[in-house]
A = this chain, B = another copy of it.
Amino acid sequence: MSQHRQPGAPGRAGAVPALPDLPEATVARLPEYLRALHNLADAGHETVSSEGLSAAAGVNSAKLRKDLSHLGSYGTRGVGYDVALLIEQIEYVLGLTQRRAVALVGVGNLGHALAGYDGFASRGFRIAALLDADPSRVGEEINGLVVRHVDELPAVATEESIAIGVIATPAAAAQRVADQLVSVGVTSILNFAPCVLSVPEGVDVRKVDLAIELQILSFHEHRKASLTALPATGGSALTALPGGLAATDTQEAIGT
């Protein structure tokens, strides 16, 4: 509920307020555009039309134009967008002009993979610290970084100016880690643990839950199967999702 409108900000010509407050949906797509633009730049393109870029990013072209218009981007009509310029603009808006330091907490299975994932480094982030609560993991070296104990977080945070914390611990430990991160001033958290984190206002949490993605796919799979299995018995509408269905396994597969 903190929608502060800036009255008197003329907006168009000349000085613009700090950052245009973009729609969340737009923000979520900008990284995708950025990736597509980098590909285009590597391929030698100097300009690109909204049609071309939207295809490369997998979205509707009108949506792309509207997104870009939100950040006041200058394309040239009849020509398209300047690839290099657009990259700069998006990187600026996303705050990627500085390389942000990331602290990764939890060096288990997933943490290991994240520590070794080079997609972070190549896209403006620097994994600056690896932390774990398990003493037997402390001291291990991964990708040139030594795992330190999570209690050293305060020291690490000031040493490295940590901007973003990544939680890759088991769910049981996640809230405590989040609290620790918040207490050392981290205001952006990426949470891989399957649990809800409660954080004070002003702290952003994004969650990635691998199993949830599979479950969503499972739903669609289930629906597809039930549709092809049932021709057109338009009778029972909402159905009652019967109570005792635990026993009925592999229900959808049976065509009969």
Contact = CB atoms under 8 A, between A and B. Distances in A.
Given A117-B109, A211-B123, A246-B88, A187 B221 contact: yes
A209 to B, nearest CB: 7
Contact of A18 (B6, B210, B239): B239
Give chain A's interface residue range (CB within 8 Å of chain B). Answer: 35 or more
25 contacts: A10-B243, A13-B243, A17-B230, A18-B226, A19-B222, A19-B223, A35-B194, A58-B196, A72-B240, A72-B241, A92-B241, A92-B245, A93-B222, A94-B222, A95-B218, A102-B214, A112-B112, A113-B113, A123-B211, A124-B215, A124-B218, A125-B214, A164-B221, A189-B217, A208-B208
Contacts of A184: none
B190 A94 contact: no
Interface string A16-47: 11111110000110111011100000000000
Interface in A189-208: 189-190, 194-196, 202, 204, 206, 208
Given A15-B239, A109-B113, A216 B9 contact: no
A214 B190 contact: yes
A208 B213 contact: yes
A219 B67 CA distance: 15
A1 interface: no
Interface stretch (A131-139, A147-155, A174-182, A247-255): A247-255
Closest 4 CB pairs of A and B: A95-B222, A9-B243, A113-B113, A58-B196
